[in-house]
Structure 1
Amino acid sequence: MSSRSSPRPRGRFALMAAWSVLLAALFATAAPARADTSPTATPRTARVTIPPGVTAGIAVYDRQTGVFTEQSNIHMQFRSASVVKLLIALDHLWDHGPGYGLPSDDRARLDSMLRSSDDSAADYYWSQDGGSAIIDRMIPRLGLTDTADPPPDYPGYWGYTALSAADTVRIYRWILESAPTALRDIIMGDLRASTRCGIDGFDQRFGIPASFQQPWAVKQGWSGFGESGDCAGTTASAAAGRTAAAPDAGVDLTRPALHTTGTVGAGDRSIVAVFTLHPQDTSFGAAYSALDTLVRSLNVPGSVPRSGSWYGTWGSHVQVRADTTTSSQVLTRLPAGVEALIGCQKQGEEVTIGQYTNDWWAYLPLYGGYITNIYISYPDNKLPDVPVC
Structure 2
Amino acid sequence: MLAVLALAATALGLTGAPPATAVPGRAAQVVVPAGVTAGVAVFDRTTGTFTERLNENARFRSASVVKLLLALDHLRTHDPRTLTTADRTRLDSMLRSSDDSAAGYYWDLGGRTAIVDRTAAQLGLTDTVGPPAGYESYWGYVSLSAADTVRIYRYLLDTAPAPVRDYVMGNLRQSTRCGTDGFDQHFGIAGSFSQPWAVKQGWSGFGGSGSCSPRPSTTVPLTAGEGPATTSAPGTVSGAAAWTASGAAPGAAPAAAGVDLTREALHTTGTVGTGDRAIVAVLTLHTDGTPYGTAYSAVNRLTRSLNVPGAVRPAGTWFGTWGSGVNVRLQPSATAARLTTLPAGVEVLVSCQKLGQEVSVPPYVNAWWAYLPQYGGWMTNIYVSSPDNQLPGVPVCAS
TM-score, normalisation: structure 2: 0.86
User: Following superposition of structure 1 onto structure 2, how do residues 97-112 of structure 1 map, counting pairs within 5 Å?
Assistant: 97=79, 100-112=81-93
The aligned runs of 1:1-389 (5 Å cut-off) are 6-7=5-6, 8=9, 11-13=17-19, 46-97=28-79, 100-226=81-207, 228-233=209-214, 237-238=240-241, 240-242=244-246, 244-245=250-251, 246-249=253-256, 250-389=258-397
Rounded to whole Å, the distance in 2 between the matches of 1:310 and 1:10 is: 15
1:229 aligned partner, one-letter code = G
Find the aligned partners of 1:377 and 1:138 in 2 and give their Cα distance.
46
1:204 and 1:255, CA in 2 relative to 1: closer, same or farther beyond 3 A? same
Would you say the 8 A contact 1:3–1:358 is kept in 2?
no
Are the aligned partners of 1:5 and 1:374 in contact in 2 as well (CA < 8 Å)? no
Structure 2: tracts of 5 or more residues without a match: 10-14, 216-237
Q: Please provide the CA RMSD for this pair.
A: 2.2
Distance 1:319 1:233 in 2: 12
Q: What's the offset of the Cα at 1:3?
A: 10
Q: Describe the SS at the equivalent of 2:82.
A: coil
Paired amino acid for 1:240: T
Q: Which runs of 5+ in 1 are unaligned?
A: 21-43
Q: Give 1:385 shift.
A: 1.2
Q: Is the contact made by 2:294 and 2:345 (CA closer than 8 Å) also made in structure 1? A: yes
- 1-side partners of 2:364 and 2:265: how far apart? 36
1:248-293 CA distance string (max 9 Å, x none): 3321000000000000011101000000000000000000000000
- Identity, % of aligned positions: 61
Q: How many pairs align?
A: 361
Structure 2 letter corresponding to 1:271 = I
Secondary structure in 1 matching 2:19: helix
Taking a change above 3 Å as real, the CA distance of residues 10 and 225 of structure 1, as seen in their structure-2 partners, is closer
8 Å CA contact 1:263, 1:270 repeated in 2: yes
Give yes or no for contact 1:260–1:275 (8 Å, CA) kept in 2.
Answer: yes
Deviation at 1:237?
3.0
Cα distance, 1:191–1:222 mapped onto 2, change above 3 Å? same
Give 1:4 deviation, angstroms.
8.0
Supply the AA of the counterpart residue of 1:154: Y
The CA distance in 1 between the partners of 2:309 and 2:156, in whole Å, is 19
Deviation at 1:227, TM superposition (A): 5.3
Q: Judging changes above 3 Å, is the alpha-carbon distance between structure 1 residues 236 and 352 closer, same or farther for their aligned structure 2 residues? A: farther
Alpha-carbon shift at residue 356 of structure 1 (Å): 1.2
Does the CA contact (< 8 Å) of 2:358 and 2:365 recur in 1?
yes
Distance 1:6 1:105, change over 3 A: same
SS in 2 for 1:203: coil
**Structure 2 Cα separation of the partners of residues 228 and 136 of structure 1:** 33
Alignment CA distance shift 1:45-1:225 (3 Å): closer
Deviation at 1:307, TM superposition (A): 1.2
Q: Distance in 2 between matches of 1:374 and 1:45?
A: 31
Please say if residues 319 and 348 of structure 2, whose CA atoms lie closer than 8 Å, have aligned partners that are also in contact.
Answer: yes
**What's the offset of the Cα at 1:125?**
0.7
The alpha-carbon deviation at position 47 of structure 1 amounts to: 2.1
Query: How much does 1:214 deviate?
Result: 0.7
The 2-side partners of 1:301 and 1:349 are apart by 41
AA aligned to 2:99 is: D
CA distance in 1, matches of 2:92, 2:264: 26
Compute the TM-score of the two structures, normalised by the length of structure 1. Answer: 0.88
Code of the aligned partner of 1:197: C
